[in-house]
Structure 1
Amino acid sequence: MKPNITPIDHEVVLADNEFIVSKTDTKGIITYVNRTFMAIAGYAEAELLGKQHNIIRHPDMPRGAFQLLWNTLQQGEEFFGYVKNLCKDGSYYWVFVNVTPDFDTRGQLRGYYSARRKPSRLAINTIKPIYQEMLQIENNSSTKEAIAHSLAYLNDTLHSLNTSYPHLILSLNKTEEHA
């Protein structure tokens, strides 16, 4: 069960050299976390292992963004994105995330690895208004249609920018690296 945490307006910022690493099974149950994950999110290892990875999902994140993540992973592809996460104390932190399917030697999916690091302010400032609009659309839609409407907005926005989600995310990351 996900804890009931009230978000507060306090950002925790990762150091440039910090990496958050976690592993889940195929259903998103956490099977491994590194010390950086525990320190940033404010949880002990025992509070995270065996829990759904959405234990750190911030309510500012649109469900459509996570549907895009799962759609990408279910195609056997790795996912890159920017995510706002929730700490145990209600604080938040932004990450540049890479989620990769983990296959065994027979090619069977075993779970997912996720590596996260500090995003640039440019990336956050670019993706934040898109996510805010997606969330607003979800809040104004029926439960059944919310994610579809949210993703439609995202796709329309990407089309108007003449880009794809992966290209936008990776271009913001390249801009960050060359800044």
Structure 2
Amino acid sequence: MTKRNIVPTGEEIAFGEHEIIVSKTDTKGRILYANDVFCKVAEMQTNDVIGQPHSIIRHPDMPRAVFKLLWDKIAAGEEVFAYVKNMSFTGKYYWVFAHVTPSFDHAGRISGYHSNRRKPKPVALEAIKPIYKALLDEEKRHKNRTDGLAASYKLLEDTLAHAGQTYSEFVWGAGGAHV
């Protein structure tokens, strides 16, 4: 299964306020477990997602800088909360408020990652969307993807520094977060 040929439709797919999307991955981001809500919202069957990279649900509107920050944090053994726009197999989008944590083996080494996602509040998304758009626009300004990522990440860091907040403080302060 591949997402390469899926075109975003601009149509939102809904999921319930009390539903939790859950997935577990290995250290490379390949899906080891996806709950029924994950599969329902992603419009895929369990056997379609197991073993696939988690990026199978990545929406092209998501700035790569946010994923860099997320991966940097969890690879360092930290938890991270983030707003993420995902895409279903039919091209519909859905926003989530994700809580991603590393999983550790008996020796204390990171053995994979666990993510729980909930429906975010609309007010939080209104605070996040313009920032994500600015980051994505910055990435697109550069012909070289590496340069675009670096410039977008710098813009993210500058935005946070200007606000006098860490990313976690910023996310939790965005319209009251998801709670």
Q: With structure 2 as the length reference, what TM-score do the two structures score?
A: 0.94
8 Å Cα contact 1:23/1:111 also seen in 2: yes
String of CA shifts for 1:105-126, please: whole Å, max 9, x gaps.
Answer: 2112110000000101111111
Q: How many residues align?
A: 177
Quick check: 1:13–1:94 contact (8 Å CA) kept in 2?
no
| Structure 1 residue ranges (4+ consecutive) displaced by more than 6 angstroms after TM superposition | none
Q: Give the 3-state SS of the residue equivalent to 1:93 in structure 2.
A: strand
Q: Is the 8 A contact 2:120 2:177 kept in 1?
A: no
Aligned amino acid, residue 26 of structure 1? T
1:36 aligns to what? 37
1:154 paired residue number? 156
RMSD: 1.3
- What is the percent sequence identity of the aligned residues? 44
Maintained 8 Å contact 2:123/2:175: no
2:24 aligned partner: 23
Stretches of structure 1 lacking an aligned partner (at least 5 in a row): none
- Matches for 1:1-179 after TM superposition, within 5 Å: 2-3=2-3, 4-141=5-142, 142-172=144-174, 174=176, 176-177=178-179
One-letter amino acid of the counterpart of residue 90, structure 2? D
Report the secondary structure of 2:10's partner residue. Answer: coil
**Aligned-partner SS, 1:160:** helix
Shift in Å at residue 44 of structure 1?
A: 0.3
- Taking structure 1 as the reference length, the TM-score comes to 0.94
Q: Using the alignment, how far apart are the partners of 1:59 and 1:2 within structure 2? A: 14
Unaligned runs of 5+ in 2: none
